[in-house]
Amino acid sequence: MRVKLGCATLALCVAMGASGANAQSGELTIWSWNIAASSLEAVVEGFNAQYPDISVRVDDLGNQQVFDRLLAGCAAGGAGLPDIVSIENHEAEIFWAQFPDCFVNLRDLGYTEELASEFPDFKRTELEVGDAAYAMPWDSGPVVMFYRRDFYENAGVDPASIQTWDDFIEAGIAIAEANPGVTMTRADLNGDTEWVRMIGNEQGCGFFSDDGSAITVNQPGCVAALEKVKEMVDAGIMTAADWDEKIQANNAGTVASQMYGGWYEGTIRSTVPEDQHGLWGVYLMPSLDANGPRAANLGGSSLAITSASQNPEAAWAYVNYTLGTNEGQVTMLREYGLVPSLLSALDDPYVSEPLEFWGGQAVWVDILGTLDDVVPSRGTPFFGDADAIVQAAQTQYINGAFESAQAALDDAASQIALVTGLPIAE
């Protein structure tokens, strides 16, 4: 049973309790990126209806800029930092491990265990250390395949028939033949490990064990993920593209499918030209076997309040309204496709609405329906180092430098062990 709060909104509860008079006024600055920044701006109107004297400015700095500037600011004792900052879950422990004093413990501002229990455990794991909670869960990234209905139909491919990755490869060859100039899918093969992480997570494998104490990147599920990525490249259905190039391919109509976390719904909907409205759809990610798991998580962020904030009570009022109320969360879902982590928001009527852009498909029913099947994956403070190593191994394996995916990931595991001091799991 979900907890029912006694106040009309969580933000109101805060105003009546921990936040006090200081939450009623002030100026707040937030660092974020892309549609996440746009989403934070979208909730300001609703927030100001309750807190008219708190002004909010959202700076869209870009993902890497936020990470780099936050790391530098924390190292400089908080110099130049904003009141609130977006932090990706898989990178969160990098900050808590090095600079715990750079962030406010939200427990001191009203983030009770009762409220925290309104979020799934896999979203909280990387944000809490002992009794401290350094950030509040924001969006999650349940993975699905976004696809162009017309390209699939031209090839006579029914997405419901794509159960396995082998099915996906076969369909990709047919779709490319039926749609000259169209590639089945794109992946950032030279700058990211996104596909290995998504398929690996689907198969229950991540870079590290659930408790973060051992290296697991060379376990069977991760090996199978890297093998499938190379099979797709070798079959010609997957080509390299970074974030911007993927958006360009979407807009130009040269890609049939993009696999990402559910937050990519907003990216597609807000960037493609109007003549593509109604042409896109969603289906579950394939699996290794016909009856295998078809759920994973990629991305998802949180909001933290920095110790540099001159008005943490006002910052908490904003964070709590944005992430701790259905109103805030559903506003961001509706406007920019950010998937709520707040469990009660999943019952909002908007979630089950057929959406015109998606050809009348109630895409959020399909996307959010996978949440219960997602296997938690731990980032740990060493994620950045491990990801760079796996990224290099991925590129080398695809280019033929390793005789097998197992050899590539065994080598990566050994390098990660040298960098982190962690043992390689048996």
Residue position matching structure tokens 């290296």 = 215
**Does residue 356 lie in a domain region?**
no
Q: Are strands 301-305 and 84-88 parallel, antiparallel or unpaired?
A: antiparallel
Task: Residue 369: give the domain boundaries.
Answer: 143-296+365-420
- Classify 120 as helix, strand or coil: coil
Q: Report the CATH number at residue 311.
A: 3.40.190.10
The whole-angstrom separation of Cα 242 and Cα 148 is 19
pLDDT score, position 4: 29
d(CA 202, CA 68): 30
Pair (127, 244) in one structural domain: no
Q: Decide: helix, strand or coil at residue 163.
A: coil
pLDDT at residue 288, rounded to an integer: 96
The CA distance from 354 to 320, in Å, is 29
Are residues 269 and 413 both part of a single domain? yes
CA atoms within 13 A on the CB side of 47: 31
The answer to the question of residue 33 being in a domain is yes
Same domain membership, residue 376 and residue 334: no
Q: Are residues 275 and 308 in the same domain?
A: no
What was the pLDDT predicted at 156? 98
Alpha carbon distance 231, 257 (integer Å): 17
Is residue 211 included in any domain, yes or no?
yes
Residue 341 and residue 408 share a domain: no
- Inside any domain, residue 425: no
Pair 324, 204 in one domain: no
Does residue 25 sit within a domain? Answer: yes
Q: Is residue 164 located within the same domain as residue 263?
A: yes
Q: 3-class DSSP state for residue 71?
A: helix
- What are the Cα distances from residue 301, in Å, to 36, 138, 298, 345? 9, 5, 10, 17
Q: Do 54 and 179 have their domain in common?
A: no
Are residues 213 and 250 both part of a single domain? yes
Q: Which residues partner with 29 through β-bridges?
A: 57
- Distance (Å, whole) CA 23 – CA 20: 6
Q: How many domains does the chain have?
A: 2
Chain centroid to Cα 6, Å, comes to: 31
Closest to 302 measured CA to CA, from 130, 42, 127, 44? 127
In a domain, 370, yes or no: yes
**Secondary structure class of 288 (helix, strand, coil):** coil
pLDDT for the residue numbered 22: 59
For residues 286 and 307, state if they share a domain. Answer: no
Please report, in tens digits, the pLDDT of each residue of the chain (426 residues total).
223 233 433 433 443 344 444 568 899 999 999 889 999 999 999 999 999 999 999 999 999 999 999 999 999 999 999 999 999 998 999 999 999 999 999 999 999 999 999 998 888 888 999 999 999 999 989 999 999 999 999 999 999 999 999 999 999 999 999 999 999 999 999 999 999 999 999 999 999 998 889 999 999 999 999 999 999 999 999 999 999 999 999 999 999 999 999 999 989 999 999 999 999 999 999 999 999 999 999 988 999 999 999 999 999 999 999 999 999 999 999 999 898 989 898 889 999 999 999 999 999 999 988 888 888 888 888 998 999 999 999 999 999 999 999 999 999 999 999 999 999 998
Q: Is residue 2 part of a domain?
A: no
* CA separation for the pair 68, 368 (Å, rounded): 32
**Same domain membership, residue 227 and residue 120:** no
395 in a domain, yes or no? yes
**One domain, residues 161 and 77:** no
Q: Cα separation of 124 and 131, whole Å? A: 12
Classify each residue of 103-137 as buried b or exposed e, where b means 16 or more C-beta atoms within 10 Å of its C-beta: bbbbbebbbeeebbebbbebbbbbbbeeeebbbbb
Decide if 228 contacts 288 (C-beta within 8 A): yes
